[in-house]
Each structure stands twice: as structure tokens, then as C-alpha cells.
């Protein structure tokens, strides 16, 4: 009979280990890693790869292989977003969770582990998922992403807009508290916020418009703080927007994304979005 008390102790030990991890994350942040180009290319290929079919029952070994493949895919995302060439190598700043996952995999392989060919699974964005989105459910490093609607236009939210919007567009003007309050008060808008360890690190605006042809849903102004990328923040925001749009009765959700945003476009395609054949027109109006 298994000693249940020892597992109670193990769970307490896990809490202590997690507390140490929080201090490591705060003190270390990111690790600069120099990788051979073929290794970096393989990681990026893991991120770009699409897997087909559902997930069948799997053994423990298969689960570990899939988990490591997912970690590799998100290292590939980091390389595609912020990697840089230095001679024959690629240099990238990895968050400590990703660096730790790679180190654990290296140690495991060095102690008799068998290499698995199990691929990384495509990012799934199911509807009906609770608003608090664990990053591990999206195949990300084990940092919890909390997503929910913005409340009041307090100082924290105004500061988040001031910090994040310039990362979305250099032409956006700073928003004061009154303007932010007006955005939140508009019945067509749902401003979603993503938090990592309590800090706002991303936002998205879901727009629901009742038209003669039906209720239309659009995702606008998606932005993730540069320091929080690679944790599934954009995926979590998109998933919640899709869920809310479906609950409201929308049949489709539309968004636009520049072709140059390769990582974002791959994320949207993995989330089930398809490129449409429509031509997008814009007319610039003279400011009053």
C-alpha cells in the first residue's frame, strides 16, 4: 500500500520548489544562448510544423516526448521572434523556463533516456474553456496565463495601455484615463487582459457588431509585451475571444494581420483561422 503521507510531503515539497522557481524567474529573467544554426533551424521547424489528427491515449513515455516537443516548439517561436545570426550560429534570449526545459532534456538524454520522434502538437484553442488559461494546456512553459475582461479604468490599466500600445503601433497616441474609460463603456467592445504573475502583459479587443446580416465578431489590437512572448499569452487571449464570440452567438470571428508577422500568423492558423480572399480597403481621413 502506498504511503499517502509521503505524497502529502511531496506536494508540500513541490510548493517549495515552485517558490524557488519564482525567485529564479525574478532574478535571472532570460538566458542568452548561442546555438548552432542547424539546431536553431530545427527548433523553428518544430514551431512551424502543423500536426494533424486528434490525440490518442498515450503512454507515459509518449507524454514526456510530446511535452518536450512542445517545449522545443516554443523555443523555436522565441528564435523566430528575437533570434539573431552571429557568424555560423544563432543567438537568442530564452526565458529561464525554456532554458531549464532544454537543460532537463539534455540531462535525461545523457542518463540513458531514449530519444523520441513524437512531434509537437498544433496549438489547440477549444471553446468552452474557463477564462483562466493555464499555459501548460497550450503546450507552453509552466507559467500560468490568466485572461479576463478589463474592469475599471484605473491607474494600472492606463499604465498598461501606455506600455503596450507603442509595441503595437508607433503612431498610436497615448490614452488618458477618460479615453480608456470610454473604450470600456462601449457596449460593442470587450477588452481582454492577460496577466503573468499578476502583471498585465497582453491585451486584445473583441468587437461584437449586430448587423443586418448577423452578429459579427472581430479581434482587434492584439499586443503582447515583448518580455512576455513565448508563454502562450497571444494564444490565451485569442482563445478567450473566440469563446466569448461563440457564446454571444457570432458564427464567425474575423481579424487582420500583416504578412510580415510570421509567428502571429502561424498562431492564428493553428487556432483555426483561415485566410480569406477578400480585399481589405482603407481610406485615410483628414484629422479635424
For residues 6 and 221, what is the distance between their CA atoms, to the nearest angstrom? 49
**pLDDT, position 94:** 87
SS3 242: helix
Together in a domain, 66 and 144: no
221, pLDDT greater than 90: yes
49, pLDDT greater than 70: yes
Together in a domain, 41 and 105: yes
Return the minimum-mean-pLDDT range out of 46-50, 138-142, 229-233, 276-280.
Answer: 138-142
Count of domains observed in the chain = 2
Q: If we measure between CA atoms, which residue out of 253, 241, 263, 271 comes closest to residue 125?
A: 271
Together in a domain, 154 and 252: yes
Together in a domain, 9 and 102: yes
Q: Dihedrals φ, ψ of 132, to 5°?
A: -80, 110
DSSP codes, 107-168? HHHHTTPPP--PPPPPP---TT--SEEEGGGGT--S-EEEEEE--S--HHHHHHHHHHHHHH
183-222 residues labelled b (16+ CB within 10 A) or e (exposed): beeeeebbbbbbbbeeebbbbbbbbbeeeeeeebbbbebb
Does residue 280 fall inside a structural domain? Answer: no
Together in a domain, 173 and 93: no
**pLDDT, position 66:** 75
Together in a domain, 168 and 102: no
Does residue 282 fall inside a structural domain? Answer: no
Listed in sequence order, the residues at least 6 apart from 64 whose beta carbon sits closer than 8 Å to its beta carbon are 116
Residue range 208-216: average pLDDT?
94
Together in a domain, 144 and 221: yes
Does residue 122 fall inside a structural domain? Answer: no
Does residue 66 fall inside a structural domain? Answer: yes
Rounded to 5°, angle at Cα 71 from 24 and 119: 170
- Please write the tens of the pLDDT for every residue from 234-249: 889 999 999 999 999 9
Mean residue pLDDT of the chain comes to 79
Confidence of residue 60 (pLDDT cuts 50, 70, 90): low
Together in a domain, 138 and 213: yes
Together in a domain, 264 and 146: yes
What range does the domain containing 48 cover?
A: 4-110
Together in a domain, 246 and 168: yes
**pLDDT, position 56:** 57
Does residue 9 fall inside a structural domain? Answer: yes
**pLDDT, position 53:** 47
- Please write the tens of the pLDDT for every residue from 142-175: 457 899 999 899 999 999 999 999 988 878 888 9
**pLDDT, position 204:** 97
Q: If we measure between CA atoms, which residue out of 135, 70, 144, 146 comes closest to residue 102?
A: 70
Percent of the residues in the chain that have a pLDDT greater than 70, as a whole number? 82
Does residue 10 fall inside a structural domain? Answer: yes
Spatial contact of 266 and 48, defined as CB atoms under 8 Å apart: yes
- Please write the tens of the pLDDT for every residue from 256-266: 988 877 778 88
- Cell numbers for 285, please give them: 481621413
Listed residues 110, 143, 166: the one ending a domain: 110
Better-scored residue on pLDDT, 27 or 159 = 159
Amino acid at each position: 500500500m502506498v504511503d499517502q503521507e509521503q505524497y502529502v510531503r511531496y506536494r508540500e515539497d513541490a510548493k517549495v520548489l515552485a517558490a524557488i522557481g519564482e525567485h529564479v524567474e525574478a532574478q535571472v529573467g532570460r538566458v542568452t544562448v548561442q546555438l548552432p544554426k542547424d539546431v536553431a533551424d530545427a527548433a523553428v521547424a518544430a514551431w512551424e510544423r502543423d500536426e494533424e489528427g486528434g490525440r490518442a491515449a498515450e503512454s507515459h513515455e509518449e507524454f514526456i516526448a510530446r511535452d518536450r516537443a512542445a517545449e522545443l516548439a516554443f523555443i523555436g517561436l522565441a528564435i523566430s521572434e528575437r533570434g539573431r545570426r552571429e557568424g555560423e550560429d544563432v543567438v537568442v534570449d530564452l526565458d529561464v523556463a525554456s532554458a531549464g526545459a532544454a537543460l532537463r532534456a539534455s540531462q535525461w538524454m545523457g542518463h540513458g533516456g531514449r530519444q523520441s520522434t513524437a512531434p509537437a502538437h498544433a496549438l489547440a484553442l477549444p471553446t468552452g474553456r474557463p477564462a483562466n488559461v493555464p499555459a501548460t494546456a497550450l503546450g507552453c512553459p509552466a507559467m500560468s496565463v490568466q485572461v479576463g475582461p478589463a474592469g475599471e479604468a484605473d491607474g494600472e490599466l492606463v499604465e498598461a495601455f501606455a506600455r503596450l500600445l507603442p509595441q503595437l503601433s508607433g503612431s498610436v497616441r497615448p490614452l488618458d484615463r477618460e479615453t480608456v474609460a470610454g473604450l470600456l463603456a462601449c457596449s460593442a467592445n470587450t477588452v481582454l487582459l492577460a496577466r503573468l504573475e499578476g502583471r498585465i502583459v497582453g491585451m486584445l479587443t473583441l468587437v461584437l457588431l449586430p448587423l443586418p446580416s448577423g452578429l459579427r465578431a472581430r479581434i482587434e489590437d492584439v499586443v503582447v509585451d515583448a518580455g512576455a512572448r513565448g508563454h502562450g499569452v497571444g494564444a490565451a487571449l485569442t482563445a478567450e475571444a473566440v469563446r466569448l464570440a461563440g457564446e454571444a452567438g457570432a458564427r464567425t470571428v474575423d481579424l487582420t494581420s500583416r504578412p510580415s508577422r510570421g509567428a502571429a500568423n502561424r498562431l492564428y492558423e493553428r487556432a483555426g483561422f483561415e485566410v480569406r480572399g477578400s480585399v481589405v480597403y482603407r481610406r485615410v481621413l483628414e484629422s479635424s
